[in-house]
Amino acid sequence: MPKDRNYDPKIFRLISILNRLDSSGRVLSKDLTEEFNVSMRTVQRDIGLLNMAGFLLDSPKKGVYTFIEGFSLKKMRLTNQDASLLTLFFDIAKSLGSNFEESFRGIFARVLTQECESPFYVKMPDGMKIPRDHPFLKEIEEAIAESEKILIHYKSHHKEGDYRLCPLKIIYMDGSWYLLAHPEGKVWLTKFRLEHITSVENIGGHFVPPQNLKAILDESINILFPDKRDKTVTLRVNRDIARYFKKRKYFPLQKIKKTNKDGSLIIETKVGNFAEILPVIFRWLPNINVIAPPNLKDQVKKEIKTYLRGI
């Protein structure tokens, strides 16, 4: 450990310098000497230490220091205190010899990735993040948490009116945020787009959420929530896309019933209405075929013919 060093003032100076660089964009060595009552040489040593530690400083003109373009503590997800302590540890490691300095640089490089990029990338649709100040979001959340009934006013292009509801979940599906609820006194599910809810009022009274709600949501693939799935659908998936259906369930309650010699699959699923699965079928045409029931096969043919007539 280096002797005769008072690190408390140094840490304070480093924190202050980093804070100014990250918030104001620059520091002046002359201002630092006056504020901290230290020599110009001490300030230069502090700046040099930050630079050697990896904080990538630039000096566009004498006595002025900035982070290089595109660099910031926010990108590294560090507080000023974190960064200053890491700088101090670097100084200690450097004084203990080249082996310690080299080891610390390896650790430092892993902690301080300039762009702080993740190896993962997920494409989020527009609107997926709901702002915390979204109108009536807090009231709806509280009503769901307490299983309390609410009265909402809903206004969209298709309908307008007041609805007494038992709110169950706030859900994101098909590119929009919805309130999923039971109408008061009913057992079937309904949904309301949050952006069309213009008022929310707690009307008193509690309700018991359905025990199978999680199963209903887990089995769903879109915003349609049938009361029961009593229709069996059988599909043939060509070998060109079979691997996708082996890895992921594109249909509710999807099961692979058979793998054919040519690599194609026979898939069976249960639906409440055909509207649940038609978008997926159309997405994978012409590599997917309806085997049963006949009325679903006829519906697919009809919609394709209607589309072709409009071309």
- 121-144: pLDDT as tens digits: 555 555 566 776 788 988 999 999
Instruction: Judge whether 108 and 86 are in contact, CB under 8 Å.
Output: yes
Q: Which of 146, 153, 220 is nearest to 192 (CA)?
A: 153
Q: What is the mean pLDDT of residues 282-290?
A: 93
Considering the domain architecture, whether residues 239 and 206 belong to the same structural domain is answered as no
Are 32 and 43 in contact by the 8 Å Cβ rule? The answer is: yes
The reply to whether 204 and 255 lie within a common domain is no
Plot region of 305 (φ>0 → left; ψ -120 to 50 → alpha; else → beta): alpha
Same domain? 85 vs 13: yes
Within a domain: residue 293? yes
Do residue 11 and residue 101 come from a single domain? yes
Same domain, 193 and 277: no
Q: Which phi and psi (to 5°) does residue 200 adopt? A: -140, 130
CATH number at residue 59: 1.10.10.10
- 11 and 102 assigned to the same domain: yes
- Domain identity same for 21 and 107: yes
Most confidently modeled of 39-53, 218-232, 259-273? 259-273
Dist. CA 166–CA 91, nearest whole Å? 61
Q: Which of 214, 248, 282 is the last residue of a domain?
A: 214
Query: Is 226 a member of any domain?
Result: no
- The answer as to whether 119 is a domain residue is no
- Residue 131 counted as domain residue: no
Across the range 12-39, mean pLDDT stands at: 84
Percentage of residues of the chain with pLDDT beyond 70: 76
Domain contains 130:
no
Does residue 12 lie within any of the structural domains? yes
Q: Given a cut of 60, is residue 22 above it in pLDDT?
A: yes
Q: Which of 17-21, 46-50, 155-159, 222-226 has the lowest mean pLDDT?
A: 222-226
The tokens of 83 are what?
């960064």
* More confident: 289 or 73: 289
Instruction: Tell me the C-alpha to C-alpha distance, in Å, between residue 238 and each of 8, 116, 266, 279, 282.
Output: 69, 42, 9, 17, 14
Residue-range definition of the domain harbouring residue 67: 7-111
Q: Please state the rounded mean pLDDT for residues 168-184.
A: 88
Interatomic CA distance for residues 306 and 311, integer angstroms: 9
14 lies in the same domain as 57: yes
Do 45 and 73 share a structural domain? Answer: yes
Sign of the alpha-carbon torsion through 73, 78, 83, 89: negative
Q: Which of 187, 214, 241 is the last residue of a domain?
A: 214
Give me the helices (H) in 37-167, please. Answer: 40-50, 73-76, 80-95, 98-111, 137-146
In a domain, 273, yes or no: yes
Give the chain's radius of gyration (CA, Å): 31
107 and 147: one domain? no
Predicted confidence (pLDDT) per residue in 183-200, tens digit: 998 888 899 999 999 999
In a domain, 208, yes or no: yes
Distance between CA atoms of 48 and 180, rounded to whole angstroms? 58
Cα distances (Å, whole numbers) of residue 42 to 37, 47, 55, 82: 10, 9, 18, 21
Are the C-beta atoms of residues 28 and 68 closer than 8 Å to each other? Answer: no
Residues 75 and 146 both lie in one domain: no
Number of folded domains in the chain? 3
- Is the same domain home to 107 and 12? yes
Picking from 160, 189, 214, the residue at the C-terminal end of a domain is 214
Distance CA(105)–CA(93), nearest Å, equals 9
Predicted pLDDT at 108: 56
CATH code: domain of residue 281: 3.30.70
Rounded average pLDDT over 13-22: 79
* 260-273 confidence digits (pLDDT tens): 999 999 999 998 88
